[in-house]
Chains A and B, each alone.
Chain A
Amino acid sequence: MTSQLYRHLGKWLGVAGYMVQYGCIAHCTLEFVGDFVVCKGPSMEPTIFSEDIILTEHITPRFNRINRGDVIIARSPSNPRHHICKRVVALGGDKVKNGFHTHIVPKGHVWLEGDNNHNSTDSRSFGSVPAGLIRGRAVCRVWPLSELGGLSPTPSWHVPR
């Protein structure tokens, strides 16, 4: 009787151990290597449409190798629990035109804009964003399957300024 109990206990402990192990491996992969993101909202049309699933990698942002034209996922400056998907238009030190004003993006910050210029809440409303908020860089689209593949590069109106 007791031996049977021990055998069951051992088995369950083993299963729990495996779950912890794989949970940790999954956590590290999602946190440090890359993950899948469901994009919602129209701000990145026509590059990314609402409900598209994007593969992102977290290695470039960790080493601060973000470049102009990259599509990135960042924590929203107005709500740390939300994430935003935008395109990096300018890096620290660059000049950006916003309406009639010319801004100089401060050091350590980036200027984010959605590809859908008319329907996007981005740096034009909340200003430049600290680079520390960037969580990942979009690599390719994985859903819908018919559109699988890389994201279109910088749209024509995003010529460096």
Chain B
Amino acid sequence: MFRALVVGVPLGVTFVDCFGYVARVEGVSMQPALNPDTGITSDFVFLSRWRSRSFAYQRGDMVSLVSPKDPNQKIIKRIIALEGDLVATLGYKRRLVRVPEGHCWVEGDHTGHSLDSNFFGPVALGLVTARAEQIVWPPQRWQHLERRLPEERVPLNLRTASTKSSSIADVFDDNEE
């Protein structure tokens, strides 16, 4: 019995730590991708640690990260921009932000109802712990979480020429950088 515990617990913990685990999503910040019906059920998602071991995230990935405001809290957001990208922010103290080295810009899908980079600024990639891959519960919501970047949130340096010129002109006057 004791031996089984000594072997079994590390085996399980290592598995969870290396491959991933299932977590419950709370709140409305990722609507409509997660928790589409507020208050009825909450979604359970599979968070892959395996996919996050080299910190090679891409724009549009849904990730779980340790909140920069409170190390005890984990939040789930979508990566909008990676290091070096130029982001047009939504209500941050600057309207245009260059994401620093080793950082990313995360936002919830539910604009305006999400505590994200528009509130606390770029976050260090070291805080990102796992990538959300799959909704596993409730059963009728079973689906793969696609990598998706809303068109209006594409970083300015990746936009095509026509959209770029207009948005830069409209936003460049009060860039403090």
Residues of A within 8 A of B (CB): 20-21, 23-25, 27-28, 31-32, 64, 74-81, 106-109, 129-134
Contact = CB atoms under 8 A, between A and B. Distances in A.
B68 A130 contact: yes
A24 B12 CA distance: 9
Contacts of A77: 102-103, 124, 126
A17 to B, nearest CB: 9
B130 to A, nearest CB: 13
Contact of B127 (A23, A27, A132): A132
Given A77-B126, A81-B55, A28 B10 contact: yes
A107 B69 contact: yes
A80 B126 CA distance: 5
Dominant secondary structure at the B interface: mixed
B168 interface: no
Contact of A130 (B7, B11, B66, B102): B66
A64 B127 contact: no
Contacts of A132: 66-68, 71, 126-127
Nearest to B83: A78
A64 B100 contact: no
B125 A130 contact: no
B147 to A, nearest CB: 20
B101 A78 contact: yes
A131 B71 CA distance: 6
Contacts of A81: 54-55
Contact of A78 (B6, B9, B102): B102
Given A108-B71, A132-B67, A133-B124, A79 B13 contact: no
B126 to A, nearest CB: 3
B17 interface: yes
B70 interface: yes
Contacts of B17: 27-28, 31
Given A80-B126, A109-B68, A24 B14 contact: yes
B127 A25 contact: no
B123 interface: yes
Contacts of B7: 21, 24-25
A92 B15 CA distance: 34
A108 B69 contact: yes
Residue among B68, B70, B128 with the highest chain A CB neighbour number at 10 A: B68
13 contacts: A24-B10, A25-B6, A28-B14, A75-B126, A77-B126, A80-B55, A106-B69, A129-B124, A130-B68, A131-B71, A132-B66, A132-B68, A132-B126
Contacts of B18: 27
Contacts of A28: 9-10, 13-14, 17
Contact of B11 (A24, A32, A133): A24
